């Protein structure tokens, strides 16, 4: 997102930061009317750091030489994830998709 002019007053936009609930969000600010523009990635970071996505956020940990992340209980129930299911990691534009493969069901079909 690169903006040159404010959508409200057509004023000049410069890079700026905004402090929201103790989290510094990087974005753009209008030099004329003061309107701020915060990209969605920064808003998501703010939601996570202020606990607004609590049930679905995990921290990467180290176990031996591996980086490990646990699955939220709610997600396990919703996606019907079982022990020995396989996880296919697919790189997406905005992140990584975890595709759950149930081997026991695939074999029957």
Residue 35 in contact with Zn ion, rule: CB under 5 A: yes
Nearer to Zn ion, 2 or 77 (CB): 2
* Least spacing, CB of residue 34 vs Zn ion, in Å: 7
3-state secondary structure 18-86: EEECCEEEEEEEECCCCCEECCHHHHHHHHHHCCCCHHHCCCCEEECCEEECCCCHHHHHHCCCCCCCE
- Binders in 81-100 for Zn ion, by CB under 5 A: none
Q: How many residues bind Zn ion (CB under 5 A)?
A: 8
Residue 6 in contact with Zn ion, rule: CB under 5 A: yes
| Inter-CA distances, 107 with 11, 101, 102, 103, 104, Å | 61, 11, 9, 6, 6
Residue 16 in contact with Zn ion, rule: CB under 5 A: no
- Single residue of 9, 57, 71, 97 touching Zn ion by CB under 5 A: 9
Nearer to Zn ion, 28 or 46 (CB): 28
Please, are residues 12 and 36 in contact by the beta-carbon 8 Å criterion?
A: no
* Least spacing, CB of residue 18 vs Zn ion, in Å: 15
Residues that bind Zn ion (CB under 5 A): 6, 8-9, 11, 30, 32-33, 35
């Amino acid at each position: 997102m690169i903006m040159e002019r404010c959508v409200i007053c057509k004023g000049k936009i410069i890079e700026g930061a905004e402090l929201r609930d103790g989290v510094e969000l990087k974005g753009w600010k209008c030099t004329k009317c003061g309107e701020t523009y915060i990209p969605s990635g920064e808003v998501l970071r703010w939601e996570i750091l202020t606990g607004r996505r609590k049930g679905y956020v995990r921290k990467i940990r180290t176990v031996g030489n591996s980086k490990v992340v646990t699955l939220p209980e709610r997600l396990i129930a919703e996606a019907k994830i079982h022990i020995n299911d396989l996880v296919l990691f697919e790189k997406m534009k905005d992140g990584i998709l975890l595709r759950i493969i149930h081997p026991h069901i695939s074999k029957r079909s």
